[in-house]
A = this chain, B = another copy of it.
Amino acid sequence: MANKLNEARLGILVGQRNYRALRAALADLNPVDVAQFIEDLPEEQGLLTFRTLAKEQAMDVFAELGSDTQQAIVEAISDRELGQLMEELSVDDAVDMLEEMPAALVRRVLRQAQPATRKLLNQFLRYPENSAGSIMTAEFTDLRRDMTVEDAIKRIRRIGEDRETIYTCYVMDDTRHLVGVVTVKDLLLAHDGALVADLMEPDIIAVATTTDQEEAVQLMAKYDFISLPVVDAENRLVGIVTVDDAVDVIQEEATEDFEKMAAMAPSEKPYLKTGVFTLARNRIIWLLVLMISGIITGGIVAGFEEALAALPLLVTFMPMLTDTGGNAGSQSSTMVIRGMALKEILLPDFLRVIWKEARVSLIVGIPLAAVNMARVMLFNPGQTMVALVISLAMIATVLMANIIGGALPMLAKLCRIDPATMAAPLVTTIVDALSLLIFFSLSVAMLAL
């Protein structure tokens, strides 16, 4: 249906240095696809291809490129070209680029920008990482309340070219305070003489520049917004978050949670583009921490050496018990972490969560215990007490695992730690130690070891 991206045919044109045909072939493609093609080329050919693009398309493609390629282009172009680039790039794309660049290059870029642009970029670069300010764009459409629909549409037609989205317009008073929101749909559906003041929605849902980006995008998802206004401490409109950036944030935040929940430091780049040393660095810290916890669990086992010597059969139950405890704990912690990320579970729900997990534990734990009971009676006839011990230990382990899995992420949130770090790996390690402690203590007490 779409003009399919045919990298093979385009590659031939690059190989033949047929830049005229290449430029023509690329002209019909979506900037996202052109950017992907350039990323797939070796750096030198990528740069040459970028340079063949028509100026207007080049700007759109540049915004879609990865930070490494952007940097290579910035290093290769002249100061004059760089100055042009910075004027035409939208502020949020420029900020994204600058945040990934070495300081010396940032200084060169900022020197080439016009003073007004430079001031804006400096302001945006100061917003904390992962704040609404850091993902917003300054290119919004502003209207005044005393405009008629006709005036408003005229203004949109005049300034719209440079605006990232024109569909939601922001109504400001003389001091740039945000007083209302009106959509292009509202304007088009009203008659030409109607006043913006009468059409606009005066109850505005907005966030501060310092609001966490996750909170901002969850608000947009909740209210189905295609843009969200961002205001400063004096309620003056400074930018908007657009829905396409919100979608990116939602995906990034989910990826970050997946990584944290698997005990990794979050990565910035896609897996295949991340070097092995970076991957290893992101993983080793938690592996080391959790390995040391595993050593402590080993110490607990060592404390029961006599019991184990008296009844070696007990060892064979260890993997099954610790696995099941770990799996149960990872189930409950995952439900609670995800529920909190989507704001479906809040801190005041703590007791409801624990009570729910306790009941689920019994419904789940009793059948699991029964299966074990039956198995031991069948394969180890005469070991009725062992069967009883392992069954009781199973119920206690599932109960303990589910409650720890449910409680830890909420306690983390209370201590302002990211709940996602309290996921399967950490829960599993804690549950391992406790489940073996329960199991061996029950064995010693009930089997008189």
Please report A residues at the B interface, Cβ cutoff 8 Å: 1-3, 28, 30, 32, 153, 156-157, 160-161, 166-167, 184-185, 188-189, 203-206, 220-224, 226, 231, 235, 243-244, 246-248, 250-251, 254-255, 257-259, 261-264, 270-272, 276-277, 279-280, 283-284, 286-288, 290-291, 293-295, 297-299, 301-302, 305, 308-309, 312-313, 315-324, 326-328, 330-331, 333-339, 342, 344-345, 349, 352-353, 356, 359-360, 363-364, 367-368, 371-372, 375, 398, 424-425, 428-429, 432-433, 436
Contact = CB atoms under 8 A, between A and B. Distances in A.
Contacts of A286: 327
Contact of A315 (B255, B280, B315, B336): B315
Given A32-B223, A323-B428, 11 more contacts: A30-B223, A32-B224, A184-B188, A247-B250, A284-B364, A284-B367, A294-B319, A294-B324, A305-B312, A309-B309, A326-B425
14 contacts: A1-B205, A2-B203, A157-B188, A247-B247, A254-B254, A259-B338, A262-B330, A262-B335, A272-B344, A280-B360, A287-B368, A294-B323, A326-B428, A327-B428
Contact of A318 (B290, B291, B298, B334): B298
Given A226-B226, A360-B276, A319 B290 contact: no
Q: Is the interface of A mostly helix, strand, loop or mixed?
A: helix
Given A221-B251, A263-B330, A335-B259, A360 B316 contact: no
A204 B4 CA distance: 10
This protein's copies in its complex = 2
Contact of A334 (B220, B258, B276, B315): B258
